[in-house]
Structure 1
Amino acid sequence: MKYVSTKTWPWPVLRHDSDDYGRCEFQVEITPRMVEGSTGVTFEADFALSDRAILDEVAKRKACYSLLISCSSTHYRDHRNSYDPRIVWPLGNGVLADRVEVTPFVVTTKEVVDFVSDNWHEDYEGMTFSLAAGAVLAMEAPYGYWIQTGDESPARTVFKTEEDDKQSPNEWTCDLNGDYVILRFNPEDYHRFKRARSRAVADGTAEYIMNGVYLPALVCVLSEVDRDADGYSHLRWFSALSDALARAGCSPIGSAGDLRRGVDAQKILNAPFGRMPFLADREDTS
């Protein structure tokens, strides 16, 4: 089922952007745990439900907690049900890739006759509903995650470069509002950057490109996302960056200051300064 915030059912459904219910909540905390070196991931979902009528149906095993996982890149779509308010769902390497949506529900497993809740909106006063198996009782908006493919280098692949004729010469800017962080260059600078990057790959001086562009860009991104983690958490690059910080032993997003992030960016990029060939050494051997 696709989540549509304006969708209505013939019966009340507990969800955060609807007034079908009052004085109760349905919240789900979802934690993805990646398997190192692969696209394997285990999703851990902890359900918190406060409506007594729905809880009673779960206790009678006429309703259950449910997690729907879908991935358009691999055409995977499946759900897992549980009478326990915790679902742990391991998925192997190759099952998921790129964007994944995880949607929590509470659904009926059997016919429920004359269902009623004290928390319904007053518009439903005096009403009851008989629900068939599979009816939605509660749902959360889908959580979006990005699963990195095994051959991705998470630090640099969060970036893409574009030319922009509105960009001032000799400057670049970061656009953080897409699935990649876009570095925008003036057209002349863009082509100069591409030529320099090609030469750097060929002659082994790529670390200079990292220090001149990617390193300050990464510091900029880290500083910005620390200030507004919730505003960016749904984007592809956010999960890649979060994973890179964890692998480098750095503070998680939202918990470090700007000065510390300069060092963290160097760790994520695998100490590019320390690996740079010295120009003097090159001149001596030329």
Structure 2
Amino acid sequence: MAPSISYPHPVLGNADDVGSGKIEPEVSFTASEELVEIILDKLRTGNETLDTMLGDGRATWSIRVQCARTYFRAEYQTSNSAHRVRLAGHELEGRVEIEVMLFATVPLSAYLPAGAHQDYGGDTFDLKVGEVLGIGPTFTFNVDKQWDPLKAPVASIMRISKGEHPKGPFIVALEDNYIELLLSHEDWDQYAGVKERVPGIIHSALVLPALAEAVPRISEYAGKIWADRLRAISEHRGIDTTKPLQAAQILLQDPLARTFREINTELDRDS
């Protein structure tokens, strides 16, 4: 649902300005190293006035594509019910946003679309070229050409490093493209001795709490590699991210049970 904005004339998709029709295109994409293709279909309004204007050229769709990671931003126009945008593979990476809006291409006299809210009282409007006629939803998707969310390990979004503090709790840093766990100098030395022997302990003691902290902040850090990948993994696996601790355990495939098995194995060896 598009946000409600105060326009001086009725705009489809803006609150209840226009009660007839809606803008709900279908958007999909394919991506490779060489090419990213965005496919839009069902570019129509269901509003008699606006669809007629699209048909005779008095209105056009504006398709805005932007990507924060690559600083790409472009606008494409079409009056057709379907449209394809083809871009070089390097143009888009990470979170991509697509906005779909409808604009007037010619000056309009006595404009009043079918289904205009009764508060307009039958008043008509004179509009200039480029005036907004309709607002669609904003679509987002993640372009990650060499990564499969169905097979992705947590290692694809997380790094464990030596921090600057000599001792004390580890720090979870979310500001960069990867979740970074910064261990104290003292803990780093101990970590090096156990990470290969009992990785389950690392998952339970470090990765699990870090993920539980990161999961509820996915939207806040949208555009970062870790946030976009974590969102995709969760969506593909149907994980409920409103319960961060449970979500983290599912993402790690029951780390507590794995830790218990590893500890028991080590204890059996020593006995």
TM-score bracket, normalised by the shorter chain, equals 0.5 to 0.7
Name 1:67's counterpart in structure 2.
63
Name 2:116's counterpart in structure 1.
120
Name 1:108's counterpart in structure 2.
104
| 1:116/1:129 contact within 8 Å kept | yes
* Alignment partner of 1:134 out of 130, 135, 139: 130
CA 1:149–1:194 in 2, change beyond 3 Å: closer, same or farther? Answer: farther
Name 2:12's counterpart in structure 1.
14
Give 1:139 deviation, angstroms.
1.1
> Sequence identity of aligned pairs in percent?
19
- Aligned pairs (5 A) from 1:44-83: 44-46=39-41, 47-83=43-79
CA 1:44–1:219 in 2, change beyond 3 Å: closer, same or farther? Answer: farther
Give 1:105 deviation, angstroms.
0.8
Q: Which amino acid aligns with 1:43?
A: I
| 2:96/2:143 contact within 8 Å kept | yes
CA distance in 2 between counterparts of 1:65 and 1:138 reads 9
Give 1:100 deviation, angstroms.
2.7
Give 1:45 deviation, angstroms.
2.4
CA distance in 2 between counterparts of 1:60 and 1:150 reads 43
After TM superposition, the structure 1 stretch with the greater mean CA deviation from structure 2, 129-138 or 235-244, is 235-244
CA distance in 1 between counterparts of 2:190 and 2:81 reads 51
CA distance in 2 between counterparts of 1:89 and 1:55 reads 22
| 1:64/1:107 contact within 8 Å kept | yes
Q: Which amino acid aligns with 1:62?
A: R
| Secondary structure class of the residue paired with 1:140 | strand
Gaps of 5+ in 2: 161-167, 241-247
Q: Which whole-Å deviations, capped at 9, do the CAs of 1:215-255 have from their partners, x for residues lacking one?
A: 79779999x9xxxxxx9699455642465589xxx75667x
CA distance in 2 between counterparts of 1:193 and 1:149 reads 38
CA distance in 1 between counterparts of 2:29 and 2:60 reads 21
* Alignment partner of 2:86 out of 81, 87, 90: 90
Tell whether 2:11 aligns with 1:41: no
Count of equivalent residues: 243
Give 1:194 deviation, angstroms.
6.0
Give 1:48 deviation, angstroms.
4.6
CA 1:126–1:29 in 2, change beyond 3 Å: closer, same or farther? Answer: same
Gaps of 5+ in 1: 162-168, 225-230, 255-260, 267-271
Q: Which amino acid aligns with 2:229?
A: A
CA 1:181–1:131 in 2, change beyond 3 Å: closer, same or farther? Answer: same
| 1:13/1:21 contact within 8 Å kept | yes
| 2:170/2:184 contact within 8 Å kept | no
- Aligned pairs (5 A) from 1:195-214: 195=188, 199=192, 207-208=199-200, 209-210=202-203, 213-214=206-207
| 1:39/1:94 contact within 8 Å kept | yes
* Alignment partner of 2:23 out of 13, 26, 30: 26
Name 2:243's counterpart in structure 1.
none
| 1:115/1:128 contact within 8 Å kept | yes
CA 1:45–1:82 in 2, change beyond 3 Å: closer, same or farther? Answer: same
The two structures, once aligned, show a CA RMSD in angstroms of 5.1
CA 1:103–1:179 in 2, change beyond 3 Å: closer, same or farther? Answer: farther
Q: Which amino acid aligns with 2:11?
A: V
Q: Which whole-Å deviations, capped at 9, do the CAs of 1:107-137 have from their partners, x for residues lacking one?
A: 2223333222121112222222232332211
CA 1:137–1:160 in 2, change beyond 3 Å: closer, same or farther? Answer: farther
Instruction: Give the TM-score taking structure 2 as reference length.
Output: 0.62
| 2:57/2:79 contact within 8 Å kept | yes
CA distance in 1 between counterparts of 2:88 and 2:159 reads 29
Q: Which amino acid aligns with 2:192?
A: R
| 1:22/1:121 contact within 8 Å kept | yes
